[in-house]
Amino acid sequence: MDFDVAILGGGPTGLSLANLLGVMGLRAVLIERNESTVQAPRAVSIDDECLRTMQALGAAQEVIADVALDYGAHYFTPKGVCFAKVEPTGQEFGYPRRSAFNQPIFEATLRKALARFPHVTTLFGVNCESFAEDAEGVTLRLIEAGGAPRDIRVRYLAACDGARSATRRAIGAELKGSTYRERWLIVDLAETNERMRQTRVGCDPARAYICLPGPAGTRRYEFMLRDGEEDAAVEAPAFVRQLLAASGPDADAAVVRRQVYAFHARMADKWNTARVFLAGDAAHLTPPFAGQGMNSGVRDAHNLAWKLAGVIRGEFGPALLKTYQQERAPHAWSLIQLAMNIGKVMMPTSKMQAFFVHSFFRLARFVPPVHSYFAMMKYKPKPFYGEGFVLADTGLGLTGRMAPQPTLEMLDRSRIMLDDLLGADFALVAYGDDAQKVIAQTQGLDFGFRNLKRVAVTPMRVNLVRDFTATIPAGRDANDIMGKLEKPGRELLLLVRPDRYIAAAIDAREAAAIAQLAGATRALVASAQGA
């Protein structure tokens, strides 16, 4: 084999996957037909889960340096009255729930990060003409810039080749869902006079629009087009200036890009064969209203990366790879549905519908639980895997969900984020007043994993035992992130996967429960050994 994994497509999904595989030590090759990463703005929203993946692949600080962190959205009536605000404040996974970024800078940062890995090769300006899959691997026919053909042999192929994926067609998969009639005009600005930090959403049945903040003083406007408005006419500079003048203070701003697009809510019916996997837009297309299209692709990358690594390293059998679509497809579809529902709020089809929507949100302010549900962005479906590489829930409601990420205060008073202690392998995390005692009881037990990190986390109100098992890292939950999981007297023990999802969770007050968990996880690993 020339490589363990070939990745088709150098967009956010492919670049994230290549970096993750690099961290995990696999020989990977990234193949991109264009000479460089994208140069024009595309996606503009990055969420907390995506930033957590950037942390896992070792480039969080480099990415965040070019991100406008932590912003919300204000919704306005046609008369300019704000009827709803979404301003989430929680950082359950260690980062703000919603931030703005510049995709060309983001992709360039991830491409640069690949230079860390001598075992990862990048081939830009190279096209994959075809591929052939057999029982042992995949053979790719590449066409280099000069037209010369080249064949490479890999164990697995990950297709991150976008909405028009040729790989999707080649494996016989089809997109199911809808393409919407409404079209939108995107206008990206190099600079803005708009002082409002939040996204401004104009919910006007005559012409809905969105004004989104960007990093380094950039701005994006999106305008819904009316029936009969031709692409060439609405992209004309004079028409764009007219729209900008009616929607804010940026009529004279420098325009970087203007483009008409339609949006889709579609998903592939098949995400993989035995050795070929779809990810990102090749697997699902999400309407833009929730800002989740790119973020969903990065989730695919993290889910697929550790599974490919585990199988290639011989830690699991190929049966593990069957859980990829099983886990990712339901969550990806739930976010597509979220985007469609937000679109209904943004795009009222009549004055009557707009009146009822606006009135509902105004009245919701007087019902605190309802108001909090929207203001804190609790309507966003939390990542959850009900089936796949997870054990049955034990009544705690934690199995299959993404683990919280607190900042830990260590014995020496230094602070570190939990994931930086966990590394790229499976981990046992104990949480509770006696977390150090619980995690010590796991030593010597076989949980079925070759490498298993152990970490103890106590509530901030509890001092660590200084002379306890020095070989196991222990810290206090400095920002009380895991405190939301706590119930009086409970001692939690979580099995956390490399993609930070909880594969198993128990109340570990009884030593027998820990031994039972070890047996259950050995059985789970064994279940993934089948062909």
Going by their DSSP bridges, the two strands 73-76 and 199-202 should be labelled as parallel
pLDDT bracket for residue 531 (50, 70, 90)? very low
Residue 166, C-beta contacts closer than 8 angstroms, at least 6 positions apart: none
For 360, phi then psi, to 5°, come to -60, -45
pLDDT in tens, 184-237: 899 999 999 998 888 998 888 889 899 999 898 899 999 989 889 999 999 999
Q: Which pTM does this prediction carry?
A: 0.93
* Cα–Cα distance, 349 to 74 (Å, whole number): 20
Per the CB < 8 A criterion, the answer to whether 187 and 220 are in contact is: yes
CATH class of 407-527: alpha beta
Rg (CA), the chain: 24
Q: So what's the architecture of 3-66+98-171+265-331 in CATH?
A: 3-Layer(bba) Sandwich (3.50)
Could you tell me the two tokens for 508?
Answer: 């570990």
* Cα–Cα distance, 520 to 499 (Å, whole number): 20
Query: Greater confidence, 511 or 501?
Result: 501
3-state secondary structure of 224: strand
Quote the pLDDT of residue 371.
Answer: 56
* Cα–Cα distance, 367 to 156 (Å, whole number): 52
Does the pLDDT value for residue 257 go beyond 60?
yes
Q: Where are the domains of the chain?
A: 3-66+98-171+265-331, 407-527
Same fold, 3-66+98-171+265-331 and 407-527: no
* Pure H helices in 315-365: 323-346, 351-364
Mean pLDDT, the chain, rounded, equals 91
Could you tell me the two tokens for 367?
Answer: 């019902």
